[in-house]
Amino acid sequence: MNEAKFTEEWLSVGDLTIDRSVQRDHLDLGKVERIVKRFNPSALGIITVSQRNAVTYIVLDGMHRTQAVKELTDNTGKVLCHVFHDLTRKDEAQMFLDLNDGTQPTLIDKYQKRLITEDPTAVGIEELLHSYNFEIGNNNQNGFINAVGAVERVYLKSLKMEAEPNLLQLVLISITHAWGNNRDGAVSSILEGLGAFFAVHGASVDLDRFKRKLELYKGGPLGLLTDARGLAAIRKGKVSMAVAELLTDEYNKGAKTKFLAAWKQRSA
């Protein structure tokens, strides 16, 4: 993005709107309440805004402060804004990331903006997720994955190893065959455990056999997670590595040929 030009203007909060695609995906009402209770106009700072057309002003930074002023003034107050002009949605998303380069936005917020800025890692992950009817989001319903950090670690590990197909694809194939789009099967420890399993055993895995073993695992994803937590406590290791160890043992049960090597305790 070239150096963007802005003007400094006082705008009515009633004219400011939020586009979730270039902002956080939810408003933290507790944060708004804290600003309202300790409201200090001198400490409000400047709101960053993109003017899309003559009447549409999109808040890029300062969403919670804007909401606090709306509540305190019955939607009539004014705030000092840096108003950027002629930004694309890609520019807006990048501006949000640049303005929030610390730890304030969640990984999911950042991931969603990275998609708009066409970040190659985020785009590659998104293509795989959509192929198996998953998406990243804070929603607790089936079909949504909250563990964006785990997903990205598996994906990047695969790129580093130059694994083909991508480890994340093997993980998604396995969990959707065994449990569909059950959100309980798409938690961080299971995703990373499966990623580690495929990273270590690689071409030695008969994928059809493994999918059947995973599908028949007693208790489904919650049973696997419970067993892994117990084993991790004994091993004093990570739950994800316990998932990989349990699945290695499960794969080998009843196998007459093509055993997998016994899982050695690993930290990652």
Whole-angstrom CA distances from 79 to 14, 32, 119 are 10, 16, 33
CA 146, 147, 151 angle in degrees (round to 5)?
125
DSSP assigned state of 183: G
In whole angstroms, give the CA distance from residue 180 to residue 159.
26
Environment class of 4 (CB within 10 Å of its CB; exposed 0-12, middle 13-18, buried 19+): middle
How much is the pTM?
Answer: 0.67
pLDDT of residue 138: 80
Whole-angstrom CA distances from 68 to 13, 16, 45, 99, 104 are 10, 13, 13, 20, 18
Q: Are 209 and 168 in contact (CB under 8 A)?
A: no
Environment class of 14 (CB within 10 Å of its CB; exposed 0-12, middle 13-18, buried 19+): middle
With cut-offs at 50, 70 and 90, classify the pLDDT of residue 255.
confident
Mean pLDDT of 231-244: 93
Residue 237 has pLDDT above 80, yes or no: yes
Residue 101 has pLDDT above 70, yes or no: no
Residue 103 has pLDDT above 70, yes or no: no
Mean pLDDT of 117-136: 94
Domain positions in the chain: 6-105, 119-252
Whole-angstrom CA distances from 122 to 14, 49, 119, 131, 153 are 34, 25, 5, 14, 12
CATH architecture classification, 6-105: Alpha-Beta Complex (3.90)
Mean pLDDT of 42-64: 91
With cut-offs at 50, 70 and 90, classify the pLDDT of residue 205.
very high
Q: CA 69: distance to chain centroid?
A: 30
In whole angstroms, give the CA distance from residue 219 to residue 232.
18
In whole angstroms, give the CA distance from residue 183 to residue 147.
10
With cut-offs at 50, 70 and 90, classify the pLDDT of residue 121.
very high
Dihedral angle computed from the Cα positions of residues 147, 152, 154 and 158, in that order, rounded to the nearest 10 degrees: 170
Mean pLDDT of 70-94: 91
Mean pLDDT of 109-117: 87
Directed axis angle between helix 167-179 and helix 120-131, to 10°? 30
Per-residue pLDDT of 145-169, as tens digits, reads 999 999 999 999 999 999 999 999 9
45: left (phi over 0), alpha (psi -120 to 50) or beta: left
Percent of the residues in the chain that have a pLDDT greater than 90, as a whole number: 65
List the structure tokens of 217.
């695992």
Closest by Cα among 114, 99, 116, 105 to 151: 114
In whole angstroms, give the CA distance from residue 60 to residue 200.
43
If one counts every other C-beta atom within 10 angstroms of the C-beta of residue 176, the result is 18
Residue 104 has pLDDT above 80, yes or no: no
